Structure 1
């Protein structure tokens, strides 16, 4: 059944079941691999929307916008936890806040005018780069002993905001490995990234709601490019299963985890590239 055509009970049930599976899987994998949920949620949502025959013209936009929305409550919870432990670098957050926000606004604006293939391409390229970084270089790789000065630092933050908004991810996927490359303490990198994720998610979500307002081909209960049913199901399920994934991570060697996630991103990237080529 094509759920894009009518808000009937069967269509909503299929959508809810798919989003439940997406949330359970995304939360577990995010906890298992110690990554932000967005890098997992977007491809899982994209695949779920594909299986449910959501219009290809809005499929990737919907996955990205919904992912950004789910980051708001989970990111707020994470940022508060890290702040209580003194792991949020307020000086870096103040330095990066405005450039990240400007980057998000640029990324949201670009996303509103480009097709889904462009968003898929951005996701595929960045996923491939992160996969190579995790599989080949590892956490010990360094470019310099400290972060660069201005304007390079602000430019770096702006690029993170732009790409993150176009990918539907929070702060951790890009900012943690980038900060690590400049010898930044991992504890503060992870904690500060959780706060950066909020700066990305709030305006990014608003941008995708506005950009998708009244768009044709959206599934039931969508507000712009944010699906409320997916949001309502994914947020609690990711919170439920993320601790289970984190617990399982302690029984698996870290090198195996990194390679597993790299393989996941590599396959996701290939899937995205294939979809672009086939469209």
Structure 2
């Protein structure tokens, strides 16, 4: 229980500060926990992805509410991206439970390597001239963002923030809008993992599809309390050092998870 509470606190803080969902930390640790309980590698990974996505519902809501109060959510863009990410997350979760778990774990680790490297070496975002993109571009981008987010169980921040900043949007508003977009990503992804796992008989009795309700409760409780702290911190503290720390952790955990699954 303490492990889950600590995990939720760190994930929630990261969500609030960087507009990310924390799946890079939650999925590897939950996979290890489920493997230790005797679940097969494929079920362990699918449960970790589904449960992580469910926790992001709570984390993203808490985070974007704080960002919205500060005026950092651009709702015009949100409403064009949101339908696309819902379509994408339903698609991504359906793909995730149908491909070989080794390939899924490899994809997860590779994506975490990309996102961690990008976060670790990223330079300070600079102000640019704002680019006005067509509404259908936001919808298509949403499908892509949603699909990848569901496959690796993230809130989409590592994709949302660069996409928004590319348009010349201020980094704080990009993070705030990303946190808001994380909410429909989490809703769609969670529904997808529930629907695709609802008829799997070998799951735990505490499961709703591929979502483990016990782990969901403890992680969500802690992340809900920690997310506003992260959102407030991003406005007051230079985040370079903390950003590098959050880049190293998910990469290390994802590599460990991959080899654990191979050895299971």
TM-score, structure 1 normalization: 0.79
Tell me, in whole angstroms, the C-alpha distance in 2 between the residues paired with 1:199 and 1:250: 24
**Secondary structure of the residue that 2:24 maps to in structure 1?**
helix
Tell me, in whole angstroms, the C-alpha distance in 2 between the residues paired with 1:25 and 1:219: 26
Residues 141, 111 of structure 1: alpha-carbon distance in 2 compared, 3 angstrom cutoff: farther
Tell me, in whole angstroms, the C-alpha distance in 2 between the residues paired with 1:258 and 1:136: 10
Q: Does the CA contact (< 8 Å) of 2:86 and 2:185 recur in 1?
A: yes
Tell me, in whole angstroms, the C-alpha distance in 2 between the residues paired with 1:237 and 1:94: 29
Q: Decide which of 64, 67, 77 is 1:79's aligned counterpart.
A: 64
Structure-2 residue corresponding to 1:50: 35
Deviation at 1:33, TM superposition (A): 6.4
Tell me, in whole angstroms, the C-alpha distance in 2 between the residues paired with 1:193 and 1:170: 8
Greater relative contact order (Cα < 8 A, sep 6+)? 2
- Equivalences, count: 264
Tell me, in whole angstroms, the C-alpha distance in 2 between the residues paired with 1:36 and 1:135: 17
Tell me, in whole angstroms, the C-alpha distance in 2 between the residues paired with 1:224 and 1:105: 14
1:271 partnered with 2:246: no
Flag structure 1 segments of 5+ consecutive residues without an equivalent: 1-15
Q: Decide which of 237, 247, 259 is 2:222's aligned counterpart.
A: 237
Structure-2 residue corresponding to 1:64: 49
Residues 144, 250 of structure 1: alpha-carbon distance in 2 compared, 3 angstrom cutoff: closer
Structure-2 residue corresponding to 1:163: 148
Residues 63, 261 of structure 1: alpha-carbon distance in 2 compared, 3 angstrom cutoff: same
Structure-2 residue corresponding to 1:97: 82
**Secondary structure of the residue that 1:76 maps to in structure 2?**
helix
**Secondary structure of the residue that 1:169 maps to in structure 2?**
coil
* Greater shift in the superposed pair: 53-62 or 225-234: 53-62
Deviation at 1:205, TM superposition (A): 0.9
Residue by residue over 1:226-279, the C-alpha shift from the partner in whole angstroms, topping out at 9 and shown as x without a partner, is 001011111112234456778999998633222222222332342244346556
Listed as ranges, the matches of 1:15-164 within 5 Å are 16=1, 18-27=3-12, 35-140=20-125, 146=131, 148-149=133-134, 152-164=137-149
**Secondary structure of the residue that 2:162 maps to in structure 1?**
helix
Structure-2 residue corresponding to 1:194: 179
* Greater shift in the superposed pair: 21-30 or 207-216: 21-30
Deviation at 1:203, TM superposition (A): 2.0
Tell me, in whole angstroms, the C-alpha distance in 1 between the residues paired with 2:111 and 2:260: 16
Q: Does the CA contact (< 8 Å) of 1:142 and 1:182 recur in 2?
A: no
Deviation at 1:142, TM superposition (A): 9.1
Structure-2 residue corresponding to 1:207: 192
Residue by residue over 1:31-68, the C-alpha shift from the partner in whole angstroms, topping out at 9 and shown as x without a partner, is 67664333322222222223333321211110111111
Structure-2 residue corresponding to 1:225: 210
* Greater shift in the superposed pair: 219-228 or 109-118: 109-118
Deviation at 1:149, TM superposition (A): 4.2
Residues 70, 273 of structure 1: alpha-carbon distance in 2 compared, 3 angstrom cutoff: closer
TM-score, structure 2 normalization: 0.83
Residue by residue over 1:174-212, the C-alpha shift from the partner in whole angstroms, topping out at 9 and shown as x without a partner, is 211332244321222122122211211112111111111
**Secondary structure of the residue that 2:97 maps to in structure 1?**
helix
**Secondary structure of the residue that 2:251 maps to in structure 1?**
helix
